[in-house]
Structure 1
Amino acid sequence: MTRLIYDGSFEGLLTAIFQVYEERLQDVAIIPVSSLQPDFFSEDLRVYTDANKADRVWQGLKPFSLLRQMIYKAYLREAAGAEKSILEAVRYVLKTKNEKDYGHPAILQLANWTKEVGREKHRTEAFVRFKRAKDDTYIAVIEPDFNVLPLIAKHFKNRYADQVFVIYDLKRDYGIFYDLHKTEFISLDAARLSNLNTIIHEEERGYDAMWQDYFKSTGIKSRVNKKLHLRHVPKRYWKYLNEKNPD
């Protein structure tokens, strides 16, 4: 068994796949360095991320747009051992030219992960709540189950094109920043962002109170369906929703 150890980035993963084909490796595993465990029966090879090699793999998969989408979302799913399913799917599709064979275990697994990431993307887009900071930047913090931040950037850039904003993923300690022209990935003080009360504009508290009053006044207690509500608005999102976090 040969283990290809990569840095955990998407380009690093594609570079590892390139190396599999370049060196014609058969019994091989691709492992992110963060998940590396000692194995005395394997030969470990370090993968050095190469943008050109990664691009060659990505361009080589261009005829299979569905597979490319599934590979990227499977990577963002952050599932343990996802690299194994991704490599198996790539090998199978390149051999058979069939990217929709859901009878193949790896293809089916990638399709299921794609659906899960898609659901999390839509939920995150629905439950992001911005607060205006003292410098007039609008800030939202999130902690999604999966790494969906790269998938939601375009949505918010289009929807809030006239305001400077930051959406920060506390779980993964990085965010996106939009400056009215472009979006870029940034790293900030996550500890400070976890308590927005220290940096939000004074007027924001009044807006919070108004929204909470509106939410209470429009609710009809006799028609509340808690099970349905929890299915559509899981509790893990509540602490960042104005209407659910009056304090």
Structure 2
Amino acid sequence: MSHSLSPLNRPCNTAVSSAAGRRSGAPQLTNPALDYSYDGSFEGMLTVLFQIYDRKAAPNTIQPVGAVQGGLFVMPVEIDTDETAAARVWEGLLRYMDAEARTRLFHTFLSEQPDRELLIFRYADLAMRAGRDISENYADDNVRRVQRLAQQMYREKHRMEAFVRFEKTQDGLFHSTIDPDFDVLPLIAPHFTKRYADQRWLIFDKRRRYGLYYDLTRTDIVEFETSAPQRSTAVSATVLDEREPLFKLLWQSYFDHVNIPERKNMKLHRRHMPLRYWRYLSEKQPREQRFEPIRNKRPVQPGGPVISSGESVSGADEAGKG
């Protein structure tokens, strides 16, 4: 399955969507319905949409080639990805919806729902037959599902941007392993490219076996092929920078000292930081050094200022000299 950082890697053209009014609808699908298969990419999905209206045959099913489940008399029509046709569909959708609504279709595809392809078709077909934007037509189940999936994708994207923790290797590469519920790597790429533009980094999606690699000039998608499944994707300690354990210890120490035990609320904590993310967070790993609170303050004396331990010692020395 191929991946793309953005739909067709083309900038969003909002000029087309600026025109108001009802547009001409999609052609009627008068031929017998077909089962379609494609290569699993978003460009391939857009090509399937093009072929549906070109053949005037509605889909019974739309499935990636490797996941086709047909019956005895079912022969799926395999659609080869055509980037020209995909670009035509992608730009043409702006005639019936704004750029934000169109982006939600891309997010729906990344959600990896079992029926995501049919959901995208139904939403696009409904918009084209209405001749206008339908993003607020919540009476329709397809619109509600697309909206709900887009919200779930946004939350997962936000959490990944907050919870990614890097480890530095000996060659200066910052590596991180994640396991998100949805395929959010294409969505978080702009954030990390902008925020960590001065260092090489790799974010690896353990579940989907591909990652993002930034080489100081551009961010590319890299795929890993292995002959046998691996139980762990953690970086071996032999290739980590020798200071990495110290960085981990410093991060844990910082986390411990900013914590306020009196305001501990684990229910709220787990809601904002779900347990499934903890195994990738440095601050949630077993402590190699026992936590000790900072002891550089004396208790506040009634009616007096707070005096640090250093000032107390120096003051006593001066008093002894007097």
Q: d(CA) in 2 for partners of 1:225 and 1:17?
A: 49
Partner residue, 2:64: 32
Partner residue, 2:114: 80
Q: d(CA) in 1 for partners of 2:145 and 2:75?
A: 27
Q: d(CA) in 2 for partners of 1:52 and 1:73?
A: 21
Shift of 1:117: 0.5
Output the TM-score relative to the length of structure 1: 0.94
Whichever of the two has the greater Rg, that structure is 2
SS of match in other structure, 1:61 = helix
Partner residue, 1:133: 169
The answer to whether the Cα contact below 8 Å between 1:208 and 1:242 also exists between their aligned partners in 2 is: yes
Output the TM-score relative to the length of structure 2: 0.73
Shift of 1:9: 0.8
Percentage identity across aligned positions?
38
Q: 1:182 aligns with which of 218, 222, 238?
A: 218
Q: d(CA) in 2 for partners of 1:66 and 1:195?
A: 37
Shift of 1:188: 3.8
Q: d(CA) in 2 for partners of 1:121 and 1:6?
A: 26
The answer to whether the Cα contact below 8 Å between 2:252 and 2:282 also exists between their aligned partners in 1 is: yes
Q: d(CA) in 2 for partners of 1:122 and 1:11?
A: 25
SS of match in other structure, 1:181 = coil
Shift of 1:131: 1.0
Partner residue, 1:226: 266
Shift of 1:113: 0.5
Q: Structure 1 or 2: larger helix share?
A: 1
Q: d(CA) in 2 for partners of 1:130 and 1:212?
A: 14
The answer to whether the Cα contact below 8 Å between 2:70 and 2:76 also exists between their aligned partners in 1 is: no
SS of match in other structure, 1:209 = helix
Q: 1:98 aligns with which of 128, 133, 150?
A: 133
Q: d(CA) in 2 for partners of 1:193 and 1:43?
A: 39
Shift of 1:195: 1.9
Where do 1:14-163 residues align within 5 Å?
A: 14-26=46-58, 28-63=60-95, 64=97, 65-96=99-130, 97-100=132-135, 101-163=137-199
Shift of 1:229: 0.3
Shift of 1:59: 1.1
Q: Deviations over 1:74-113 (max 9, x none)?
A: 0000001111111010101011113222221111111111
Q: d(CA) in 2 for partners of 1:161 and 1:94?
A: 41
Structure 1 stretches of at least 4 aligned residues deviating more than 4 Å after TM superposition: 189-193
Shift of 1:218: 2.5
Shift of 1:221: 2.2
How many matched pairs? 247
The answer to whether the Cα contact below 8 Å between 1:66 and 1:99 also exists between their aligned partners in 2 is: no
